Each structure stands twice: as C-alpha cells, then as structure tokens.
Structure 1
Amino acid sequence: MAKLSVSLACCDYDRTKALFDGRVGIEGCDVNPVIIEPEEAFHRAFRDQEFDITEISLSSHTMTTSRGENPYVAIPAFVSRVFRHSGIYIRTDRGIGKPEDLAGRTIGIPEYQITANVWIRGLLQDEYGVDPASIDWRRGGTEQPGRNERAPIKLPPEIRIQQIPADRSLSQMLEAGELDAVFSARAPSCLRRGAPNVGRLFPDYRRVEQAYFERTGIFPIMHMIGIRRSLAEQHPWLAVSVYKAFLEAKEICTRQIGDIGQLWAHLPWAAAEYEDTVRLMGRDYWSYGVAENHKTLDTLARYSFEQHLSARRVAVEELFAPSTLELSKI
C-alpha cells in the first residue's frame, strides 16, 4: 500500500530535529517537512489550513475548539513550553515594583489571544489579584507594525483594547515611554539593546519561575501539534503514528542533552543544567501525554474562558484526537 503523503510544518527545535534530519519517520507516511517559525505556522494554519500536520498555538486551538470552528485536532506532543514570568517588560521609571502595580496601566501586547499572554494574565490574576479588566491594552507587533489577531476574537466592553498606529511597534512605544509595559513571548529589541528605563518586572525570573513550579506543579504549555481534522478522520491510525514519532524525537533529544561525554548544546554546563532541572522538576520534566499534563491544560482552558476568549469552558479531552487520550510513553 502506498504511503500517505503529508506536509509537516514545525520549528526546528532540538526535540523535533530528528523528524527533519531523517532519524525519525512517521509510520505509514511520506513526509514533506517545512521548517518554519511558530508565528508563521499559526497564521497559515488557522487562516488557510495550509499544512496537514503543524505546530499550533494551545490558546488559539482551545479558543476555536470552544466555538466548533477548529479545522485541526491535536496530539499531546507539547513541542514548546516556557515559563512566562520572564515575558513581562516594564518601564522602570513608572513605579512598577511588584505585579500588583500593573493594575490601571497601559500595556502593549502582540495579540490578546497568544498563549504566552493568556498564561501571563492568568498567573497575574491567580497569584497577585491583577484583573485584566483593570488594564488599558494596546495591540500591535512587538517589532513589525501592523499585527492583528490570527483568529477572530470578540471581547466584552470591560476589556479595553486598542490597535496601536499602523506605523508603530510595541518596542518603539515602550522605549519612548508611551506604554507602561509590554507582555510578549519575545523580548522587545529595546530591552536587548539596553534602552534606558526598560527592564523586566522579574529581573531574577528564573528564581521566581522555579518557585512557581514548586508551588503549582505547572510547566506552561505553549504549542502542540495539530493534524488536519478531515485527514485524521479519514485515516484513524494517523494520530497515533504522528504522536509516536514526536515522542521518539523528544526522547533522542533528552538522551543527548544529558550526555556529558560530548555536549550537544553550545553551553559549557548543559549537562549540569539538565541535572539541576531533573532534581527540581523530575526526570520527565518535559512530558508529553494528556494525563501527565491534565492540570496544566485544564488551567489554560480555565484562563481562556475567564479571559473571554473561549465561548465556553473546554474540557481537556476535547482538544485531542480520541486515539491519543490514553497514550503517554508507548
């Protein structure tokens, strides 16, 4: 029987690299791989459904699933996870010394729906009592002017959000003092250049994020892998085959990063960092699978509903192909 020809769009992470260099294949498939930045993959997937298998935003996937409008179904391969206390960038000359000081401020965001910002708003409300409705939001590209939402959103009147001028970026406005803060997955260039009066709310974000994990057990999920729904329904075996491939690629990466005999990352103490992480978070700290990540996924689903992105509270199981719900390590 001929193999199924599929396109695969994903970032070339260390945990996905084996899928791109040929060490790992997808059972039953002839794969056309496309190495792509996540933001581009999301826009092309959610707007035009260009790819058969693609990296997708957890937030946008949850939101569109709640509306019954999602052309993709996910597998529980979480290719991007990032603690997001590091993503709060502030003017240091505005008296913002603690999270509570963000209430009532004017804050820039690339998109209201991006997963990083859903996590930031959620943890600020859960842990510090900062209500998103207390903030004046300004939306636009962090570096490139003109950015808007990748999928339509409809927010209630109490959420005040305005588009910034089409010729401005959030980084420019933060540096110029036109914003009090920016929430972004990527550090704005004004911070990287050392612009005056621009810094992080949590300069020692590693310590704060470690404490957050010890307190909550949550390692925030950003992106997972989606399969075109029509394709997954036509080929019921496909979801498990794709999941197995991503799991194998991640396990290759995990073995390498802990190898002190030869360093696979260009960091002198990469193996020591791996050992420290295992001590804090456990050996399978970057786990795949629904059961292993149910609390994290359910927390994001709650945030999405509370922040008026999801039309209803989505159950975790709705996000994934049914055949993958019971899978962890195969």
Structure 2
Amino acid sequence: MNPLRLSLAIGDYDRIRPIADGTVRIDGVDPVMSILDPEEIFFRAFKYADFDICELSLSSYTVKTAKGESPYIAVPVFPSRAFRHTSVYIRTDRGITKPEDLRGRRIGVPEYQLTANVWVRVILEEYGVRPSDITWVRGGYEHPGREEKIALQLPPDVRLESLSPGATISSALADGTIDAVIGPRAPSCFERGAPNIGRLWSDPVAAASEWYGKHRIFPIMHVLGIRKDIAEQHRYLPGALVKAFEEAKSLALAKLTNTAATKVTLPFVEERLQHARALMGEDFWSYGLEPNRHGLDVFLQAHHAQGLSSRRLKPEELFHPASLEAFRL
C-alpha cells in the first residue's frame, strides 16, 4: 500500500523536527510539511480547512467543537504549552504594580478568545479580577485591522472595543492609549525598550513556578488536529500520529539531556531542564488525555464561564476516540 500524501502544517519546534526531517516516520503517511507561524496556520485552518493535519489553537478549536462546527478532530498531542505569567505587559507609569490594579483598565488583546488570554484570565480571577472589570481593546499587534477569526457571543457585561483605524496594540501601549496588553507575544514596543513599558510579573519564572506548585497545571496552548473526513477514511491515522509525535518529542528531550554540546543557542539550558524536572517531574511535557485531564478540565470550565464556548465540554469530547488508546506489551 502506498503511503498517504497528507499536508501537515505546524510550527518550528524541536519536538516536531524529527518528523519534519524524516527521522521519525508517521505510519502509512508521507507528509507534505509546511513549517509556518501558528497565526497563519490557525487563520487558514479555521477559515478554509486548508490542511489535512495541523496545529490548532485550543481555544478556537473548543469554540468550534462546542458548536459542532469544527472541520477538525484533535488528538492529545500538544505542540505548544506555556506558562502565561510572561503574557501581561503594562504601562509602568499608571500605578499598576499587582494584578488587582488591572481593574478598570483598558487592556489590548489581539483576539479576545486566544488560548493565552483564556489562561491569563484564569490567573487574574484568582486575584478577584473578572473579565467584566476590564475594557478589552482588540487590534493587531503590529498591523492594524486584525479581527477575531471566529465569531463570538460574549456575555453582556464584557466590554470589547476595537482600536481606532490605523492603530496597533504596540503603538497604543507605547502612546498610553491603553494601560496594558495581554497576548502570546511581546509587543514590539516592549522588545525595543520603549519608556514606561514593562511586565506585570517582573519575575515570571518565579510566579509561574509558584502557580504550578499550587495548581499542578502546565497550560496547554495548541492541539494537533486531523480533518474529520480524513480521520473517518483512515481510522488508523489518529493513533499513528500520537505514536510518531511521542517518539519525536522523546528524541528532542534526549538531545537536550546530552550536555556534551548544547543543542540550543542559549546558555544554562541544562540548568533550566533540571529545574523543570525537579518542579514538574520527568514527563513535564506530557501528551495523552489522562496526564492532562485536570488541566484540560480547568481550561474547559474557564472557557465556558468566560462565554467563549456555547456549552461546557468534557475533555474526552476534544479528541478522536482512536487516539486515546494504545497497545501495551
């Protein structure tokens, strides 16, 4: 049997590189790889279902799945995870020194429903800051005119505005039109060291480590999706993807562990790896439903409570059933 030629779009991560370079094979598949920025993948996937297999925003996928409108079905492979204490950027001249100070502020977001923003709102609720306490201002980070890729019906007490034409989130934070930004990327005004711009958590690693110690959650950002029509035609495919991506991740971690020559262009990689394992255990970037059930359940509860998903999903509903079982020796 000839292998399937399927398009596979995903970000450029060490944990997928063995698949991209052919070191790890997906059983029965000859993938046509597209290594793209996640924003492009998500736009094309949810607008046009452009790809056979691709990385998906967990939040956008949850919105679509709750409505029964997703062209994709996920498998429990998580290409992107991140602690989001790095995702809140503030004007340092507005008296914002702690999360509670964000009440009553104007906060820029590239899209309200982004997964990173859902997780930040989870964190802020622990400080008594609710979505209705903030005026949310939507726009493009660096290019004006960005809109939500998915239509939303938000609760009536959530105020969501659009930036003025021609403005960007970065320029609005720099000129003080907004008080803060929440999103998965740093705005360019922060990166270039513009005056009066900083992070809400000055030591986000310490803040995230403390949060993990309390909740035992490493937030999931993205899942891996298969177009439903293809998954239906080729029932072996969900399990084959989980198997291949697990193997690719194991190879990436083995390279990080080999300290004879650093595989990443960054000092102190070994020390950070040791810190992560001491805090989170050996399998700190786990795939599969059961190791991640608690984190997914917290996310799905928050996603529905924030008015993003039309019904409260269970974690099992996110994944193809064939991707939740594997043989054992």
Regarding TM over 0.5, the answer is yes
Deviation (angstroms), 1:47:
0.6
Deviation (angstroms), 1:2:
2.0
Match of 2:6 in 1: 6
In structure 2, C-alpha distance between the alignment counterparts of 1:178 and 1:269, rounded to whole Å: 38
Q: Give the 5 Å matches for 1:54-73.
A: 54-73=54-73
C-alpha distance after superposition, 1:279-309 (max 9, x if no partner): 1110000000100000111111111101100
Deviation (angstroms), 1:150:
1.2
Match of 2:319 in 1: 320
In structure 2, C-alpha distance between the alignment counterparts of 1:325 and 1:48, rounded to whole Å: 27
Asked if 1:169 is matched to 2:168, the reply is yes
In structure 1, C-alpha distance between the alignment counterparts of 2:267 and 2:315, rounded to whole Å: 39
In structure 2, C-alpha distance between the alignment counterparts of 1:202 and 1:163, rounded to whole Å: 26
Deviation (angstroms), 1:186:
0.3
Q: Give the 5 Å matches for 1:17-56.
A: 17-56=17-56
Aligned partners of 1:7 and 1:53 also within 8 Å: yes
Match of 2:301 in 1: 302
Match of 2:102 in 1: 102
Q: Give the 5 Å matches for 1:1-330.
A: 1-125=1-125, 127-327=126-326
In structure 2, C-alpha distance between the alignment counterparts of 1:25 and 1:149, rounded to whole Å: 36
Deviation (angstroms), 1:156:
2.5
Q: SS in structure 1 opposite 2:32? A: strand
C-alpha distance after superposition, 1:188-227 (max 9, x if no partner): 1111111111111001111000000011001000011000
Aligned partners of 1:7 and 1:34 also within 8 Å: yes
Deviation (angstroms), 1:166:
2.7
Deviation (angstroms), 1:327:
4.7
In structure 1, C-alpha distance between the alignment counterparts of 2:97 and 2:186, rounded to whole Å: 19
Q: SS in structure 1 opposite 2:80? A: strand
In structure 2, C-alpha distance between the alignment counterparts of 1:329 and 1:176, rounded to whole Å: 59
Aligned partners of 1:291 and 1:328 also within 8 Å: no
| 1:329–1:83 distance in 2 versus 1, CA, 3 Å | farther
Deviation (angstroms), 1:328:
10
Q: SS in structure 1 opposite 2:24? A: coil
In structure 2, C-alpha distance between the alignment counterparts of 1:11 and 1:243, rounded to whole Å: 17
Deviation (angstroms), 1:9:
0.2
In structure 1, C-alpha distance between the alignment counterparts of 2:260 and 2:95, rounded to whole Å: 48
Aligned partners of 1:258 and 1:275 also within 8 Å: no
What amino acid sits opposite 1:301 in the alignment? L
| 1:209–1:239 distance in 2 versus 1, CA, 3 Å | same
In the alignment, structure 2 segments of 5+ residues that lack a partner are none
Runs of 4+ in 1 over 6 A off after TM superposition: none
| 1:266–1:229 distance in 2 versus 1, CA, 3 Å | same
Deviation (angstroms), 1:267:
2.0
In structure 2, C-alpha distance between the alignment counterparts of 1:203 and 1:196, rounded to whole Å: 16
Deviation (angstroms), 1:329:
9.1
- Structure 1 stretch displaced more, 149-158 or 309-318: 149-158
Question: Identical aligned pairs, as a percentage?
Answer: 48
In structure 1, C-alpha distance between the alignment counterparts of 2:269 and 2:45, rounded to whole Å: 34
Deviation (angstroms), 1:145:
1.0
RMSD: 1.3
What amino acid sits opposite 1:110 in the alignment? P
Aligned partners of 2:239 and 2:325 also within 8 Å: no
In structure 2, C-alpha distance between the alignment counterparts of 1:50 and 1:168, rounded to whole Å: 30
- Structure 1 stretch displaced more, 320-329 or 167-176: 320-329
| 1:98–1:329 distance in 2 versus 1, CA, 3 Å | farther
In the alignment, structure 1 segments of 5+ residues that lack a partner are none
C-alpha distance after superposition, 1:101-131 (max 9, x if no partner): 1111111000011100010011111x11101
Deviation (angstroms), 1:272:
2.1
What amino acid sits opposite 2:138 in the alignment? R
TM-score by length of 2: 0.98
In structure 2, C-alpha distance between the alignment counterparts of 1:149 and 1:328, rounded to whole Å: 41
- Structure 1 stretch displaced more, 48-57 or 92-101: 92-101
| 1:326–1:123 distance in 2 versus 1, CA, 3 Å | farther
In structure 2, C-alpha distance between the alignment counterparts of 1:328 and 1:158, rounded to whole Å: 49
C-alpha distance after superposition, 1:141-162 (max 9, x if no partner): 1111111111111112211101
What amino acid sits opposite 1:132 in the alignment? P
